[in-house]
């Protein structure tokens, strides 16, 4: 009996040590170069600083997102911007060669996503919600949801080994209310690293200092020098945490953090993937409560 107890204890400590030392693998899948940055860059930076592995994926090459550039020339610009953004945040950036504004949730795209998730051995996958103004965002969400269960099925895309454990699939935050508003199941305080997020986003110069200001009629407001641009972008993109986000922060951190947080990234659990317990979430998001 004593030997059995000692054996079980050794297994427990071995498992605990492995869990503490293992890397968390995160895949963030957006429709366009810069989507992952907008939604997850602050959390991703914290993952990277803790030694974990983050992959940003853009399912299109962004070749339509500009007012006076386009096609292959724009795609090259956006790929270079994504690479630079990845370096600034500390993540790997992958851009697929699909046309911007033409993305459809095809079988091929689903299989591409399955292979990406498997090759990264993902523990967490984050993507858009299926309720969104942009068809590429909606179709990205559909394609990722369609892949959520199938990443564990060996006979689907059999050239890449199926995952033995289904990842936790999450939706990133948006403000759309119909048919269902966003639910912040997980909230990450990024106040201390918000400047890092802004610096990463700023690498997408064609978007944040050209295309998006033009769309919003604010192109003339964009500053000329880098420091002023960073400050301008930071103010433009800082969203006050909602009451629901602060309630989630209180759960995962404490009341003081919830009250003081200035910048937050929040995530909703997708039911199509693994259903995590609170303990699972704490293990997969080790920055919570810090």
Residue 9 lies in a domain: no
For the segment 133-158, what is each residue's pLDDT rounded down to a tens digit? Answer: 999 999 999 999 999 999 999 999 99
Q: Which two tokens stand for residue 232?
A: 């301008």
Closest CA to 26 of 286, 250, 289: 286
Residue 17 placed within a domain: no
Question: What is the CB neighbour count within 10 angstroms for residue 171?
Answer: 23
Q: What is the extent of the structural domain holding 46?
A: 25-284
Residue 83 lies in a domain: yes
- Asked whether residue 245 is domain-assigned, the answer is yes
Segment 84-95 shows an average pLDDT of 98
In a domain, 15, yes or no: no
The total of structural domains in the chain comes to 1
Query: Cβ(85)–Cβ(197) under 8 Å?
Result: no
Query: Does residue 150 form part of some domain?
Result: yes
Q: Write out the two tokens for 36.
A: 């992952």
Give this prediction's pTM.
0.93
pLDDT at 17 over 50: no
Produce one character per residue of 208-240: b if its CB has 16 or more CB atoms within 10 Å, e if not.
bbbbbbeeeeeeeebeeeeeebbebbbeeeeee
Tokens of 90: 């500390």
Looking at the domain assignment, is residue 14 inside a domain?
Answer: no
pLDDT tens column, 238-263: 988 999 999 999 999 999 999 999 99
Alpha helix stretches (DSSP H) within the chain: 2-21, 35-49, 71-89, 107-119, 135-150, 194-201, 205-206, 212-215, 226-237, 243-252, 255-260, 278-284
Lookup: tokens for 106: 């095809």
CATH number assigned to the domain comprising residue 222: 3.40.50.10320
For residue 243 the two structure tokens come to 């009451």
| Count of positions (residues) in the chain | 290
State what percent of residues in the chain have pLDDT above 90. 91
pLDDT at 1: 52
127 lies in a domain?
A: yes
- pLDDT for residue 266 is more than 60: yes
Q: Which of 40, 59, 41 is nearest to 144 (CA)?
A: 59
The 10s digit of each residue's pLDDT in 179-190 is 999 999 999 999
């Amino acid at each position: 009996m004593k030997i059995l107890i000692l054996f079980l204890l050794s297994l427990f400590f071995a498992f605990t040590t492995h869990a503490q030392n293992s890397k968390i693998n995160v895949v963030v899948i957006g429709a366009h170069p810069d989507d992952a940055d907008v939604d997850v860059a602050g959390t991703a930076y914290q993952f990277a600083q803790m030694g974990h592995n983050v992959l940003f994926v853009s399912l299109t090459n962004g070749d339509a997102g500009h007012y006076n550039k386009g096609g292959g020339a724009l795609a090259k610009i956006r790929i270079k911007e994504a690479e630079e953004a990845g370096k600034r945040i500390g993540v790997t950036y992958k851009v697929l060669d699909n046309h911007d504004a033409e993305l459809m949730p095809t079988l091929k795209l689903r299989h591409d996503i399955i292979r990406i998730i498997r090759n990264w051995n993902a523990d967490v996958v984050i993507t858009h919600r299926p309720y969104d103004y942009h068809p590429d965002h909606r179709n990205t969400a559909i394609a990722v949801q369609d892949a959520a269960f199938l990443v564990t099925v060996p006979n689907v895309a059999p050239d890449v080994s199926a995952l033995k454990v289904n990842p936790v699939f999450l939706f990133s935050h948006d403000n759309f209310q119909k048919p269902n508003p966003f639910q912040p199941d997980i909230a990450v305080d990024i106040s201390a690293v918000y400047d890092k997020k802004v610096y990463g986003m700023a690498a997408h110069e064609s978007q944040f200092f050209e295309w998006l200001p033009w769309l919003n009629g604010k192109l003339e407001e964009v500053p000329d020098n880098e420091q002023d641009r960073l400050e301008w972008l930071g103010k433009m993109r800082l969203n006050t945490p909602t009451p629901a986000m602060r309630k989630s922060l209180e759960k995962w951190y404490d009341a003081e953090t919830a009250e003081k947080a200035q910048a937050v990234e929040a995530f909703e659990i997708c039911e199509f993937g693994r259903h995590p317990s609170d303990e699972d979430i704490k293990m997969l998001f080790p920055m919570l409560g810090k």
